[in-house]
């Protein structure tokens, strides 16, 4: 007899976890309170395993945060992943922003909505009821865990998802369970009717079967059109690197990159919405609540740390390699090229100095192109065949920060004459569009 494949095992695990509610109602004499409590526990279990899935999703999100986002943009733009031991797939740093947003915002928010919906049913939770909910919750958690291990990791389901599309199933489940709690919950608690409970369990089971069917079909429902699915996410392609060795290499010194990261971290907390944290802290200190003032300061420090880390990872480990008329940004930490820029696509070059440059005697080069870097915005996600593809080899604008010799970079890339810059000046030159 042929053993079930990992993907089939994942489906069986989902069906088994969904059978917890029918078994409890039909054979364990669960009350409506226990049933709805297990439904909420299932949402918590799905959210928990979703957080486990997010770091390993291999596709890129179709609606990226955008290059202009200082907090998460540099991280989400990262290409390549980190190889992990044993049979685990690669960990992708670009998924960290979605993981943070999900862990500290979306998951608590969804759990709060689920518990509020459960509370609106006016449940009576005794020790016996709590024990039954715990038993059902553990069963559902184990079933969803088996599905994650077999269907997502062993069967390679992570290859079909981005960090964003992984979040769709728990959102749909919350909507379905919330609808059951709001519409049928009060009647079920009041009537205590076994037939009514069987109907509720049947509706939930039909939803789960339909969700499994949609995952394996080309039909696109309302949720998929509004949010998208794995079919609309971007299949990553590598950045093309010219053959041969680069003619010139440059990378910021580590001390310069760390100083730049700290500078950008502090600057972010006073030039963004995080500034209100300092205002709240000052108000609390003014009213004598010194201890409470530490909370907004800690929040500002957390945002600053994320910004500083994001900035360092964007440029600190990146080596800029010139291959004649092609400039490639290569991440040495991930050993993956991040972007390429062809000399003919450059429209303008600016050489400037900021506070870090003046401190270390370096310069920052900015290459401009005609490529639009603003993210696409739409009311619905396009059909899979119309979804945009990876623009890995597009000529996006590129910045080379804190180089010791900007003239050498310009000469290697486009035979541009060296430009002298003052401490507060920004000089713009035009890169020739022809060959050397």
Please list the rounded mean pLDDT of every run of 10 residues in the chain (436 residues).
46 59 65 81 92 94 68 89 86 93 91 82 80 86 88 90 86 76 60 60 69 58 63 87 92 94 94 92 90 93 94 94 94 94 92 94 92 56 65 90 92 60 40 38
Nearest to 394 by CA among 278, 244, 239, 255: 239
pLDDT of residue 421: 43
Strand intervals (E) in 286-425: 318-322, 326-331, 336-342, 346-352, 363-369, 398-403
CA 415 to chain centre: 40
Distance CA 162, CA 55 (A): 9
pLDDT of residue 19: 62
- How, if at all, do strands 346-352 and 248-250 pair? unpaired
pLDDT of residue 1: 39
pTM for the whole structure: 0.80
Distance CA 418, CA 38 (A): 69
Nearest to 162 by CA among 55, 72, 294: 55
Distance CA 64, CA 73 (A): 8
H helices of 92-167, where?
96-101, 107-119, 127-147
CA 32 to chain centre: 37
pLDDT of residue 420: 41
Distance CA 186, CA 199 (A): 15
pLDDT of residue 125: 80
Residue 274 structure tokens: 């995080």
Cα distances from 161 to residues 151, 158, 208, 354, 433, in angstroms, run 12, 5, 20, 40, 40
The answer to whether the CB of 162 falls within 8 A of the CB of 93 is no
Strand order in the sheet with 398-403: 398-403, 363-369, 346-352, 426-429
Nearest to 107 by CA among 172, 44, 166, 55: 44
Beta partners for residue 363, in sequence order = 403
Place of tokens 């000529």: 395
């Amino acid at each position: 007899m042929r053993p079930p494949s990992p993907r089939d095992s994942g489906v069986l695990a989902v069906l088994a976890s969904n059978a917890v509610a029918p078994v409890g109602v039909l054979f364990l004499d669960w009350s409506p309170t226990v049933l709805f409590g297990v439904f909420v526990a299932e949402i918590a279990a799905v959210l928990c395993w979703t957080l486990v899935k997010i770091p390993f999703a291999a596709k890129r999100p179709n609606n990226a945060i955008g290059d202009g986002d200082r907090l998460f943009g540099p991280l989400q733009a990262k290409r390549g992943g980190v190889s992990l031991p044993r049979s685990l797939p690669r960990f992708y740093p670009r998924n960290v922003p979605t993981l943070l947003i999900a862990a500290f915002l979306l998951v608590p928010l969804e759990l709060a909505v689920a518990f509020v919906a459960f509370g609106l049913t006016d449940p009576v939770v005794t020790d016996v009821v709590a024990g039954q909910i715990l038993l059902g919750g553990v069963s559902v958690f184990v079933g969803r865990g088996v599905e994650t291990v077999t269907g997502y990791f062993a069967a390679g389901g992570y290859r079909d998802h981005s960090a964003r599309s992984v979040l769709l199933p728990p959102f749909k489940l919350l909507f379905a369970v919330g609808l059951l709690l709001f519409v049928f919950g009060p009647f079920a608690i009041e009537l205590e009717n076994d037939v009514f409970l069987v109907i509720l369990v049947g509706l939930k089971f039909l939803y789960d079967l339909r969700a499994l069917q949609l995952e394996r079909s080309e039909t696109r429902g309302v949720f998929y059109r509004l949010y998208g699915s794995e079919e609309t996410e971007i299949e990553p392609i590598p950045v093309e690197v010219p053959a041969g060795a680069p003619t010139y290499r440059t990378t910021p010194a580590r001390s310069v990159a760390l100083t730049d990261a700290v500078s950008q971290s502090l600057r972010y907390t006073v030039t963004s919405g995080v500034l209100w944290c300092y205002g709240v802290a000052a108000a609390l200190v003014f009213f004598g609540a010194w201890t409470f003032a530490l909370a907004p300061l800690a929040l500002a420090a957390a945002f600053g740390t994320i910004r500083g880390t994001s900035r360092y990872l964007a440029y600190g480990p990146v080596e800029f390699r010139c291959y004649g008329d092609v400039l490639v940004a290569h991440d040495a930490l991930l050993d993956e090229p991040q972007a390429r820029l062809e000399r003919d696509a450059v429209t303008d070059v600016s050489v400037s100095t900021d506070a870090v440059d003046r401190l270390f005697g370096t310069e920052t080069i900015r290459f401009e192109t005609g490529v639009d870097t603003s993210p696409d915005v739409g009311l619905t996600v396009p059909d899979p065949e119309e979804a945009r593809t990876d623009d890995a080899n597009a000529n996006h604008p590129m910045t080379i920060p804190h180089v010791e010799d900007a003239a050498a970079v310009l000469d290697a890339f486009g035979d541009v004459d060296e430009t002298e810059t003052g401490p507060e000046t920004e000089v713009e030159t035009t890169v020739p569009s022809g060959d050397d």
